[in-house]
Structure formats: structure tokens, C-alpha cells
Structure 1
Amino acid sequence: MVCGTSALLWVPQALVLLFYDVHDLGKHKKPDQKCELVGTFSLITQAALGLLCLSSLIIKRNYEYPIRRTWKVWSFDVSKQLVGAFGVHVFNVFLSILKSQDDALHLLADDEVDDDPCDWYFLSIVLDCTIGVYILYLVFSWLNQFCKKTLGITEIDSGEYGDPPKYRAYFKQLIIYFLALMITKLLVFAIVEVFQDQLLWITHNIILLWLNEYPEEVEIFMVMFVIPVVMNCLQLVLIDNIIQNQAGKLTNLIMGGLTGSDETDSQIDREAQAIYAREEAKRQGRYGSTHDDASP
């Protein structure tokens, strides 16, 4: 899984590198050179970012108690985020480049304008990891209910893949999650379009102003490593809570207070199973069964 994350993060960077080569950008370093989203330093930085972010989900799984997802179920859940991250990452990087170039063409006569691809990338990361997570939760919940009640699609309870886990259920859930993520990204993009001048000015002239005094590598390291590590780790953990099996998550929350009690492991396991069954029954009562009756 670690190698898979690194590969996913390198693919969009290779595409952007190709884009830069075609347009003959960034061939020479100049005194007033702006932050570039490509290059050896940027690629290594983002590969390390991917490994660190994935480690946060591994740590989170190790703290799941008493119901811990199997490695296969956990891999299904995490791979949804990897596929989604691929799409969003490509969207963010290309948007950062295109937006900065577009604004440079329209505002060429304004000497005070100093668009920087890293400004756009930073803005995209912050919005995705804050308001974007909440919008994703709303869109994902609505899309799931629409597919269940209106379209009658089965096996789409997020995080529930059957016993043993079935790839059919996984791919259905992956499609729904990816659609919800792309809708969310478009909504966040709309917010940026409406308030782009204000947001970009705040980003460049207030939040990232102090980085102008340092070499380009420092800005890249901060904007594409330090800040994304913190924000993306938080985002991955929050989204994992959204897409994992909700009955299991609630059971762990309820049973969390029993840690360190005098009850034996077998007693805790029995109580956990009882709570899990109760939470699953509540969910079925609210939303109805979405499992394929013909499935084993």
C-alpha cells in the first residue's frame, strides 16, 4: 500500500512535468523566479508527503478497539481515498498552473500582481481540508441516500463489503465516493471563482508573505510538504471516519470507556458484538437494507 501511494502521487506530477516541458516553462532559474510545482525537489517532497499521510491511516487502524477492520477491509477503505486523491491532486495542480497563467495574462499591466502557482496550490489544499471535508460529508450522504432510495442500488453501505469482502460492493462504493468527491471539488472551485481575488490576496500578501524572503526551496517545502502533511493527515482521518463501517465506528466509540476496566477480553468482545448488532439494526431501521439478497 505504501508503494501504491507513492506511485499515485508521482503520476500526476509526471503529467504536470510534461505540461511544463511543452510550454518551455522553468528552464532557467531567475532572481524573481516564482515557486514551481514541478522539478526534482518538488517530486521528492510530494512523494514523502504521500508516505507520511498514509502512515496516519495505519496508526488510526492500530487504535481501533475492540472492532478493528481486517487488512482487506481497511485496504478497500483506504484505496477509495487513494483513487480520490489521484483525481483531486491532478485537478489541484493543473488548476494552480492554469489559474496563475490566466491571471498573469489578464493582469499583466498591474505591477502589484504577483501570481504564484504555490499560492493557488496552498489555497486549494486549505479549502479541500477544511470546508471541503464538510461539503463532502453532505454530498456523500445525499448521494448515498439517492442511490439507495431512488435508484435502488444495493451493496453501497460505505465500508460494508460482505463476508468475505466482495469486489462488486467495493467498486459500487468507490464510484459513489469518487462522484461525491468530484462534486465537492467543483463546489469548492466555484467558491474560489467567486471570491478568488480576496482569497488569493490574503494568501499571497498575508499568509505566505513571510516566505518571500527565503529561497524557492523553502517555499516549496512549506507549501507542498509541511502544511499539506498537517492538513492532509487531518483530512484523511476525517474522511476515513465518513467512509468506514459506521456501526463498527460507533461500537468502538461506545466501548472506548471500557478500556482499562476489570472486564475480560471475552466479555468486552461479547458486549461489543451486542452493541454492533444494535447499531446495525438502528441503521437498517432508518435506511432499510441495501444488501443484495442474492449475495452470500
Structure 2
Amino acid sequence: MHFPTISLVFCLFVFQPFVYGQLDYKFYDTTCPNLTKIVRFGVWSAMANDTRMAASLLRLHFHDCISNGCDASVLLDETSSFRSEKDALPNLNSARGFELIESIKANVEKVCPKTVSCVDILTLAVRDAVLLTGGRYWNVALGRRDGLTANITAANTMTPSPFESLDDIIAKFTAKGLDIKDVVALSGAHTIGFVQCFAFKFRLFNFSGTGSFDPSLDASFASSLQTQCPNQDASDTTLVPLDAVTTTKFDNMFFRNLVNNSGVLGSDQALMSDNRTSAMVINYSKYPFWFAKDFSDSMVKLSNVGVITGQNGQVRDKCNLVN
């Protein structure tokens, strides 16, 4: 006598659109069916001209979500009402990709005006950037709304820094509903991209007053970094690849480097020296499939931190300005 109820529940499960919380994989299927093609072409075109763009988009998305939630607040210019997160120390003179997201948004507006949020465009663009550099594809649930303000205080205090301890970085992740596994997996984004010398220069010369380099660095790798960053000026902005082996390929080489004590950032190398994270680093270094899977899973979690949905927020006409 219970079969009809079970059948009804089964039918609802099968035929309803897939959703992630209040987000929906089919959100724009009717209102903007060519959205994913427009975004992917925009990302592909940008990456063809700038090999750093994939890493820049990853960083932009992470800095948006980890500070004030995924609301595209990092894209906003300063107004009389708030300071821009672009001026926060973690973003100042280093955050990139704003023009690309604005360009993709303009192309989307031509065919789907006032329909697609900037934060959804950024979230899709990041997925495509990883895919186009050799990473794994993951489905992106959509329907996020753009925020109405920026929060430079959160951008300054909640964005992890390469000068912080692993404990502090973990605390910032857990404050956003992420966990230690997400810390390790998302750190794997450093398998592509570059970093400025000032972010790790302290590891190369007179580390902690020892007169030498950080002992957690492989000696030959330390020597290579000293050659690339010979200027001991703390403000040195020379760019160095985070993974010198496969700089533009999204793979597990970052973790293999950590196992070999060749992590550029001290905050990255700390993952290998901490009992809570070292086993995951070793696992990812051996099994690229597991890293790819866990990274994509963690990116889904990250992209759903503090999202605005329903009638809250807005769909901005331009990504740098509130309507």
C-alpha cells in the first residue's frame, strides 16, 4: 500500500533539476542557453594571449569567496559608500582578471541582458580556466546574485597570507565552512601561476637570524631561488613560478615539489611538515586522480561560501559597479 508514495518520491527525484542548496545546474538553460559557450570562449581567448590568466582567475575567485563570500564584491570599484577590495593588501597591485570578467559580462549582456550575475560568470570562468590548463571538469550550480557592497576589512583579515602559520590559515578556512582537506586540495591551485619575490624572500637570506636559508628548503632549490631573487629588498616584485617544472599545466606537480622540499611559499611547504596535512600531500603527489577529484570537490564547496540567492543582492549591469 506504500508503493504509490515511493513511486512519487522517486519520480520527483528523477525529474526535478539537479540543485546544490539554492543553486541550480539548469538555472540559465532557458534565459541564457549559450552562457557557458560565451564564458569558455572568453577565457580561452584570454589565455591564448596571457598564460598567467588561469592562475589569476583562480586567485580572484578565491579572494572573493574567502573574504566576504562569493558575491563578486572583489570586482567592485571604490565609491563614496565603501572602499574597494581591490585596495586590500592581498589584492593591491597583484589581483588580475578584472578586465576579462568585465569583457565576458559585456558579451553576455548582448544576448542575455540583465540576466546573468557577475559572480556566476567568475565561477564559470574559473572552472573553464582549470579545464583549459589540463585540470578536471566539474559541474557548476548557478543562480548566485551579486553583492551590493565591498568589505575591505574582510579582504584584509580573512584572506590567507604566505606569511601566516598553517594554524591561522586553517582557521580562516574553517570560519567559512571549509576543512583541512580543502586547505590542502585548494593549495594545489599553486601548481600554476607566479608569485612575487617579496612573498618568500625571508626564506632565502638570514632565515630567522640563522644567516642561511630556511632549512625546510632543498639546498639546490634554495640556491635557484636566490639566483632569481638576488635583491634582498623586501618589496621585490620579481615574478617566480610557483611550480617551475610544469608552470602552466594544472597537475599534481605542486605536491611532488612539496615532498621534495621545493615549495616556494613557506605556507605551502608547511603542509608537508604538519602531521595533519602531510599524508594528504604525499597521497596527492602519488595519485593525480585523487588530487583532481578532491580539488574539484573543494572548488564546489568554495564557490558556495556565503552566496546570495533569490531576491537578495542584484544582477549587476557592469561588474565593477552596483546598479
TM-score by length of 2: 0.24
Greater Rg by CA: 1
Structure with the bigger percentage of helix: 1
Q: Per chain length, whose mean CA-contact separation is higher, i.e. which structure has more relative contact order (CA < 8 Å, sep 6+)? A: 1
TM-score by length of 1: 0.25
